[in-house]
Structure 1
Amino acid sequence: MNLAEIDFQQLRIKHILYKSKVRSVLYVNGGEYDASLFSANSPVNTWFNDIGLKKYRQEPGLLTLLALQQEMDTTARQLFNLYKAGKIDLAQQGLSTIEEKSEKFVTLVSQLEKSLKE
């Protein structure tokens, strides 16, 4: 496994944790909201700042990937606000948006990883 594969595997793991935490907050009795996981200093955002933008900024798709993560962050905050406002069903329905964006995110990660192998 080369360094790029390791870097993108780390991103993939951080993303899965992120998505799992969103689901947990919306479905597990309001799961515990961890503000740091959804902040500018989240593990995913830290990966972009410390690794992604420094090592792979020139790679086609990286900035698209970052924008997609930022969209997911915004959507997650909106869903959490709906949940807190008692609109639980609406918040849970909105999770499908996170799922769709997550699928695109994982696909883009795989494409970047593949392009760096070649």
Structure 2
Amino acid sequence: MEIVQLDLQQLRIKHILYKSKVRSFLYGGTFDTAFFSAAGPVDTWFTTVGKARYGHEPELQQLERLHQKLNNIALDLHKLYSSGQIEQAHDGLKEVNYTSDLFIATLSELDKRLSKV
């Protein structure tokens, strides 16, 4: 497996973990403040591997925007859940899933394009 594929596979795995953590706190798990901060694993990947190796790729910029959008949604859902608006927070998973699908599709496009080079 090439370095590009390994790097992007790492991001894919970190993203899936991120989405699982959102689902987890919405169903009674603990909210991990550090995980949903700029020090979290997805953000760390972007600031280290992502920008260093793929910063010039337009898809990377789109992926960063999508992740930031997901993070904002997750923080909003946590506020809803914490204030007792559990049903509304659960309904917000639709937006998480939609944005996550866009993230994975964009990541797949980048992977496909860079693997051909």
TM-score when normalising by structure 1? 0.96
State the SS of the aligned residue for 1:61. Answer: helix
Count of paired positions? 116
* 2:18 equivalent to 1:18: yes
What CA deviation, in whole Å up to 9, does each residue of 1:55-108 have, x standing for no partner?
A: 101112110110000000000000000000000000000011000000000111
Q: Distance in 2 between matches of 1:19 and 1:79?
A: 13
Match of 2:95 in 1: 97
Amino acid at match of 1:56: Y
What's the secondary structure of 1:35's corresponding residue? Answer: coil
Please give the alpha-carbon distance, in whole angstroms, between the structure 1 residues aligned to 2:24 and 2:8.
24
Q: Percent identity?
A: 47
| CA distance in 2: counterparts of 1:60 and 1:84, whole angstroms | 36
How well do the aligned residues superpose, as a CA RMSD in angstroms? 0.6
Q: 1:32 aligns with which of 4, 18, 30?
A: 30
TM-score, structure 2 length as denominator? 0.97
Match of 1:81 among 79, 82, 85: 79
Q: Output the CA distance in 2 between the equivalents of 1:37 and 1:18.
A: 8
SS at match of 2:77: helix
Q: Which runs of 5+ in 1 are unaligned?
A: none
- Once residues 16 and 33 of structure 2 are traced to their aligned partners in structure 1, the CA distance between those partners, rounded to angstroms, is 17
- Aligned partner of 1:102: which letter? S
Match of 2:2 in 1: 2
CA distance in 1, matches of 2:17, 2:3: 21
Q: SS at 2:110's partner residue? A: helix
